[in-house]
Amino acid sequence: MVGIALERPAFRDHFDTVESAEQNSLFEDPPAQGSGERSGAAGGHRPLAVRMRPQGLGGVVGQQHILGADCLLPRLIRADSFGSLFFYGPPGSGKTTLAEVIARETASRFVRVNAVMSNVGELREILRFARARPELRTLLFIDEIHRFNKAQQDLLLPDVEEGSIRLIGATTHNPGFYINAPLLSRSHLFRLEPVAEKDTVCILERALEDEKCGLGARRCTADAGALRGLARLCDGDLRRALNALETLVFGLPLRAHLREEDVGVFARERQIRYDADEDEHYDTISAYIKSMRGGDPDAALYWLAKMLEGGEEPRFIARRLVILASEDVGMADPRALPLATAAFQAVEFVGLPECEYALAHATVFLATCPKSNRAGAALHAAREAIRNEPVQAVPMALRDASTRTNKAFGHGKAYRYSHDYPEAISGEDYMERPRGFYEPGSHGAEAAVAERLARWRALKHERQAEMRERDVK
């Protein structure tokens, strides 16, 4: 029923014929013994990743942070006491597999829809039938649930709350941004991680040996290095790794041996996991910025390379360099901002791929600069003073005196022009109630700034003392 709206009579007959999850025709049947490649009445090919899905919780490999012996999810499944669940993780991490396993473990009726192709009419019919046949204990699995709009998600709320259905939503997108808060608050959220390399290799080995569902009928063997290389190239996407293995094996004769060189063809077409405007985008740029802030040019270049390989917009990277130049380098090296701005201009003028050199240049420079956030911290302190204290008036001596009216009001009167004094320090107070915000650090060029400001403060006090003495006379 993936994405196909069923007519009411056919829909009812379909549900009435099934009494448990084990009989549910929505679960794909295993292929014929020893076929290793074909199943179904029409003899259609089912991908290896589908055939190798485990039938029980014990067969699930990886995700030990949520499936370990003392973790919450296995306890909920064993007790059959869960409500609705959300599985959030990258493609090929096992979200659909877990949903099917949970349905089998709890003998629930498993109904699967894909949010890309489903519609409100189909949802209403599923929910109506679930209310009419509570003994079937409907488990509704919605793949890519982030693609449902607010109205579609709200439609699920009453039945989720009443327990007419148990919802399992799967998404590769951050649920906090895409799932309605009321629906999310009524569910347990579990985050899945990319499948570890050793776990992927374990499943690939199992697929080569399994004669019932895997590729065992072809009697193919493989170098350990070939399987590790395939797992590494697929970046934790188990579905992709299994289907790549199937393609490789069927490209070899029976009883062949898979070597590392055979995996090389996939290396040329490797696609890293990187989605624009999603978690990988934000997580990677965060690592990039923090690497430069922490003075690690190697890590910064690595994350830069990941973004470029993943198709990130170079102007976005360049803008972040400009921000970092002021936020994290600041006065410790005043060359940082002009260089970062120049890198941004180079990206605009040159474009890909040559602008990558300018990005690498700026990345290394900023990562190796001395760091200071004192300018930004001073601005935050000044804004706090504006928000929390009485706002100071501009001193009369500093006010604009460009018109006769302003001069008549006393604007600019007694202003001491800085350049009339040694080192341009007149002793003038530039606030009614002077206070300090900027405290320069001791790194890089800012150390010289600290010395200069200390001298100027001393000169200011001398000038003010002289003026007081003159006023007394």
Q: What CA–CA distance (Å, rounded) separates 113 from 96? A: 11
- pLDDT at 1 (0 to 100): 35
**Cα separations (Å) of 387 from 108, 225, 240, 390?**
58, 62, 54, 8
Instruction: Give mean pLDDT, residues 17-22.
Output: 35
Q: In whole numbers, what is the pLDDT of the chain averaged over residues?
A: 85
Model pLDDT for residues 301-333, shown as the tens digit of each residue:
999 999 998 888 999 999 999 999 999 999 999
pLDDT at residue 29, rounded to an integer = 34
Q: Is the pLDDT of residue 10 over 70?
A: no
Tokens linked to 62? 């990886």
Confidence of residue 104 (pLDDT cuts 50, 70, 90): very high
Largest CA distance in the chain: 112
Return d(Cα 273, Cα 90) in angstroms, integer: 8
CATH code of the domain occupying 197-267: 1.10.8.60
Is residue 432 within 8 A of residue 393, CB to CB? The reply is yes
Backbone φ and ψ for 235, nearest 5 degrees, come out as: 50, 45
For domain 8-191, the CATH class is alpha beta
Per domain, the residue ranges of the chain are 8-191, 197-267, 279-368, 375-472
State the average pLDDT over residues 413-423.
87
Quick check: 43 pLDDT over 60?
A: no
CA distance 65 to 283: 20
**34 band by pLDDT with thresholds 50, 70 and 90:** very low
CATH class of 279-368: mainly alpha
pLDDT of residue 295: 93
What is the token pair recorded at 101? 């396993």
Closest CA to 102 of 88, 119, 84: 84
Q: Is the pTM of this model over 0.85?
A: no
Range name among 2-11, 259-268, 322-331, 463-472 with the lowest pLDDT average: 2-11
Identify which has the larger pLDDT, 25 or 434.
434
The pLDDT, as a whole number, for residue 473 is: 63
CA 24 and chain centroid, separation? 36
Q: Which of 19 and 51 is assigned the larger pLDDT?
A: 51
pLDDT of residue 363 exceeding 80:
yes
Residue 58 has pLDDT above 50, yes or no: yes
> If DSSP states are collapsed to H, E and C, what string results for the chain?
CCCCCCCHHHHHHHHHCCCCHHHCCCCCCCCCCCCCCECCCCCCECCHHHHCCCCCHHHCCCCHHHHCCCCHHHHHHHHCCCCEEEEECCCCCCHHHHHHHHHHHCCCEEEEEECCCCCHHHHHHHHHHHHHCHHHCEEEEEECHHHCCHHHHHHHHHHHHHCCCEEEEEECCCHHHHCCHHHHHCEEEEECCCCCHHHHHHHHHHHHHCCCCCCHHHCCEECHHHHHHHHHHCCCCHHHHHHHHHHHHHCCCCCCEECHHHHHHHHCCCCCCCCCCCHHHHHHHHHHHHHHHCCCHHHHHHHHHHHHHCCCCHHHHHHHHHHHHHHHHHHHCCCHHHHHHHHHHHHHHHCCCCHHHHHHHHHHHHHHCCCCCHHHHHHHHHHHHHHHCCCCCCCHHHCCCCCHHHHHCCCCCCCCCHHHCHHHCCCCCCCCCCCCCCCCCCCCHHHHHHHHHHHHHHHHHHHHHHHHHHHHC
Contact criterion met (CB below 8 Å) for 337 and 322: yes
Q: Are 222 and 84 in contact (CB under 8 A)?
A: no
Tell me: the pLDDT tens digits for 142-158?
999 999 998 889 999 99
Domains 8-191 and 197-267 share a fold: no
pLDDT digit string, tens, across residues 204-259: 999 999 988 899 888 889 988 889 989 888 888 999 999 989 988 988 888 888 88
List, edge to edge, every strand of the sheet that includes 138-143: 109-114, 138-143, 166-171, 84-88, 187-191
Q: Mean of the pLDDT values across residues 398-412? A: 89
Q: What is the dihedral of CA 443, 446, 448, 450, to 10 degrees?
A: -100
Looking at this protein, which amino acid is placed at residue 297? P
**CA 205 – CA 312 distance, rounded (Å):** 35
Give the per-residue pLDDT at 268: 63
pLDDT at residue 354 above 90? yes
pLDDT at residue 6 tops 50? no
In Å, what is the CA distance from 346 to each residue of 8, 288, 391? Answer: 61, 20, 42
